[in-house]
Amino acid sequence: MNGEQLKAVVRKKYGEIAKKSPVELSSASCCGTQSSCCGPSDTESHDFVPFNDDYTNLQGYNAAADLQLGCGVPTEVAGIKPGATVLDLGSGAGNDAFVARALVGESGTVIGIDMTKPMLAKARKNAETLGFSNVEFRLGDIEDLPVEPGSIDVVISNCVLNLVPDKDQAFREMFRVLKPGGHFAVSDIVLARELPPGLLQAAEMYAGCVSGAILKDDYLNRLTATGFKNVTVRIEKPITLPREVLSQYLSDTEIASFIAAGATILSITVYGESPISVSA
């Protein structure tokens, strides 16, 4: 599939997710903190995220915005200060944006970007219900952000950049919109080694943030090549896909080899800085 076809897969999948409540997602799928609940009947319709982190104790958390689609908590390492302008890439129903809003306070601003209209509608409804006037959700593509250059203090994102076909362009857009001296903190899925062809070619695995992932070193090198400084992995966790999920795409021999190789899929939270411009 080309880039636009991949985006269509993601829009369809996440548009369907947006129509479900958090209760429906957590009770009928392996999405959530208890990834061991995966089974064949669950994965038929919900094989996209068996690795969400628990947000419930975070200030700003809102259950209606938590569709359990993340793979980390980027705000934990984002260093968000009161009054800051924060951009959330792939903001979904608003989960990370509302946590960021609690950190920036009334004097700050949070902008969420999402390309899926049902997600955008859900996020805007949540913000309206909560009475937030300093949280804005915009329809847009991460490869072509509807955001002014040099206007953002902090960029965050949670398990979304791996879904972007042109990651180099996404990183360039992050660099463009950040203020000199600004920074980013993103949680994402990367690989310790190449995936088996059966997983790599599965559209469902792409929508689930797995086959869209690239090698960890490649990911970090691309961020550095974009111009970011002090790029560091702050948190790293192995992701285990249950055998029930693997069996949909791999033979028994391939599964055994995949498991024997050790952790292949990783959740990382990465921090990096935009350099401070120096006048000539």
Domain locations along the chain: 3-28+39-271
Between CA 14 and CA 18, with CA 16 as vertex, the angle to 5 degrees is: 70
Closest to 81 in 3D by CA, of 108, 57, 62: 108
Structure-token match 């009161």, residue found: 82
- For the chain, give the mean pLDDT: 86
The number of beta carbons lying within 10 Å of the beta carbon of residue 191 is 22
Please tell us whether the domain made up of 3-28+39-271 is placed in CATH 3.40.720.10: no
pLDDT tens string, the chain, 280 residues long: the values are 688 888 888 888 888 888 876 556 654 333 333 333 333 333 344 444 456 788 999 999 999 999 888 899 999 999 999 999 999 999 999 999 999 999 999 999 999 999 999 999 999 999 999 999 999 999 999 999 999 999 999 999 999 999 899 999 999 999 999 999 999 999 999 999 998 888 887 766 766 667 788 999 999 999 999 999 999 999 999 988 888 888 888 999 999 999 998 888 899 999 999 999 744 3
Give the pLDDT of residue 22: 57
- Asked if residue 122 lies in contact with residue 93, where contact means CB atoms within 8 angstroms, the answer is yes
The pLDDT assigned to 203 comes to 67
Q: Which two tokens stand for residue 220?
A: 């970090």
pLDDT for 20 equals 76
Per-residue pLDDT at 69? 86
pLDDT at residue number 43:
36
Q: What are phi and psi of 93, to 5 degrees?
A: -85, 0
Q: Distance between CA 132 and CA 242 in Å, rounded?
A: 39
Pairing of the two strands 229-239 and 265-273: antiparallel
- Rounded to a whole number of angstroms, the distance between the first and last alpha carbons of the chain is 45
